[in-house]
Amino acid sequence: MGDVLKKVPVREQAPKVRATNFDEVCLGYNKEEAMEEASRCLTCKNAKCVQGCPVSINIPAFIKEVKEGNFAEAYKVIGQSSALPAVCGRVCPQETQCEGKCIRGIKGEAVSIGKLERFVADWAKENGIKPEAPAEKNGHKVAVIGSGPSGLTCAGDLAKLGYDVTIFEALHQAGGVLVYGIPEFRLPKDKVVKAEVENVKSLGVKINTNVIIGKSTTVDELMENEGFEAVFIGSGAGLPMFMGIPGEVSNGVFSANEYLTRSNLMKAFRDDHDTPIVTGKKVVVVGGGNVAMDAARTALRLGAEVHIVYRRSEEELPARREEVHHAKEEGVIFDLLTNPTEIVADEKGWVKAIKCVRMELGEPDASGRRRPVVIEGSEFEMDVDTVIMSLGTSPNPLISSTTIGLDINKRKCIIADDETGATSKAGVYAGGDAVTGAATVILAMGAGKAAAKGIDEFIKNKAK
């Protein structure tokens, strides 16, 4: 038995090894490790961790089952609240959610809730346990737009309540950001994402790929002609943003979305797939979020020297600490307090250098973070051949512009009620990045869950 104040360490691929492959970094707990870690849980009556979870998983209850070796029971407990435990166990920012509230964390390290969740989900998959479809269908049809975390959650919850749910996905594969955005080494596609999507399907949910709502058909058509009584919009974040600096259209400048989509969805990193990707010898990733870390670590694995350029300091990096830590271990170089001003291209239009200035932190701005200020005369040039812009996204207008009576806010996000997901249009609900702008997987799942409840109430009230 180890130190009770510390987490049971989780096995990982060694940094030098994993920097050259796309296999999963974290190897997860085995049975014994999981049971030992579970025994650190104090089983608090008024559990703070549950309050920290956007989908309110009964954490002490599932950990108690793990402690006793009842993994199937543990899976059932999680399944009551989450449709995607194998995903959440891997990509949730637990340190600011469940684990951030853990009482153990006051005097030591929090219980490794995320790793335990992952263990339970993986164990269930290996043992062929699937969530059960409801015995009876209620005959009401609901459409879900987008098969990302919010859509899958909303669809799963509604299916459990007996609804006849169809998901419409624009891409050729289901999973949304779980497939095109988050890399294989953090979230294995076949082993984890596909399996979770299959689980949602086993609840009776139908998934139609290659349907772009707003183009292939519209929300109004679904409701008026196809017999859907309610629609949930979980269409995701949208168009990538660029800095607006000179040289940004040069060859070799990508959005993180493009770079990651090529590598993750289209599997450009694999020789047996046709989609090309520019690998680059020296790559600069601009930005400090989780997406920037994913792009940097992908470029690294494709063989490049990779620099993260971020205008604030390490403390303000918006990425999860674990991601920053992993990136550093693998050899990503962090050029902090640095901001690009221009991209220089060669005579053929390919990137050859990036001009940057050094920054220092000034007075706090509206966000409460200290505002970065340019240091006069600090301009310098770095020779690079690839630049990846990871600056966030702005909402895609495809659905909002083709749905009559759907209100959007100043930032062009769909306006939806926090509690129920209801939009300005009766019967239409929304959640996830389409509402909040780019955020996390689990927040999107929380919104999908809330909307499922909202839709259930809406349809029940209508029937009265």
Q: Tell me: does residue 397 bind another protein (CB under 8 A).
A: yes
Q: Tell me: does residue 239 bind another protein (CB under 8 A).
A: yes
Collapsing DSSP to helix, strand or coil, 86 comes out as: helix
Q: Tell me: does residue 411 bind another protein (CB under 8 A).
A: no
**Closer to another protein at the Cβ: 39 or 251?**
251
**Closer to another protein at the Cβ: 112 or 436?**
436
Stretch that binds another protein, among 44-52, 80-88, 395-403, 405-413 (CB under 8 A): 395-403
Q: Tell me: does residue 398 bind another protein (CB under 8 A).
A: yes
**Closer to another protein at the Cβ: 71 or 254?**
254
Q: How many residues bind another protein (CB under 8 A)?
A: 42
**Closer to another protein at the Cβ: 85 or 287?**
287
- Which residues within the stretch 298-317 sit at the binding site for another protein (CB under 8 A)? none
Stretch that binds another protein, among 268-276, 319-327, 403-411, 419-427 (CB under 8 A): 268-276
CB 144 within 8 A of CB 154: yes
Q: Tell me: does residue 262 bind another protein (CB under 8 A).
A: yes
Q: Tell me: does residue 139 bind another protein (CB under 8 A).
A: no
Tell which residue, 357, 335, 353, has the closest CA to residue 344. Answer: 353
Q: Tell me: does residue 452 bind another protein (CB under 8 A).
A: no
E strand or H helix at 343, and its extent? strand 338-345
Q: Tell me: does residue 61 bind another protein (CB under 8 A).
A: no
**Closer to another protein at the Cβ: 16 or 215?**
215
Sole binder of another protein in the list 150, 153, 199, 255 (CB under 8 A): 255
Task: Give the other-Cβ count within 10 Å of 347's Cβ.
Answer: 6
Q: Tell me: does residue 21 bind another protein (CB under 8 A).
A: no
Q: Quote the Cα angle for 243-184-29, to 5°.
A: 125
Q: Tell me: does residue 77 bind another protein (CB under 8 A).
A: no
Supply the minimum distance, in Å, between the C-beta of residue 92 and another protein: 23
Q: Tell me: does residue 380 bind another protein (CB under 8 A).
A: no
Q: Tell me: does residue 392 bind another protein (CB under 8 A).
A: no
Q: Which residues contact 420 (CB under 8 A, 6 or more apart)?
A: 429, 450, 451, 453, 454, 457
Supply the minimum distance, in Å, between the C-beta of residue 251 and another protein: 5
Supply the minimum distance, in Å, between the C-beta of residue 295 and another protein: 12
Supply the minimum distance, in Å, between the C-beta of residue 221 and another protein: 9
CB 181 within 8 A of CB 147: no
CB 51 within 8 A of CB 104: no
Sole binder of another protein in the list 100, 131, 240, 392 (CB under 8 A): 240
How many Cα atoms sit within 13 Å of 79 on the Cβ side? Answer: 20
Cα distances from 301 to residues 107, 177, 296, 397, in angstroms, run: 38, 20, 9, 34
Cα distances from 26 to residues 10, 322, 387, 406, in angstroms, run: 7, 11, 28, 42
DSSP code per residue over 180-227: HTS-TTTS-IIIIIIHHHHHHHHTT-EEE-S--BTTTB-HHHHHHTS-
Residue type, 344: V
Q: Tell me: does residue 20 bind another protein (CB under 8 A).
A: no
**Closer to another protein at the Cβ: 8 or 441?**
441
Tokens of 320: 């999860």
Q: What is the rounded distance in angstroms from the CA atom of residue 264 to the CA atom of residue 188?
A: 10
Sole binder of another protein in the list 273, 281, 325, 460 (CB under 8 A): 273
Q: Tell me: does residue 212 bind another protein (CB under 8 A).
A: yes
β-partners of residue 233 are 145, 430
Q: For binding to another protein (CB under 8 A), which residues are involved?
A: 170-172, 180, 209-212, 215-217, 236, 238-240, 242, 248-252, 254-255, 257-258, 261-262, 265-267, 272-278, 348-349, 396-398
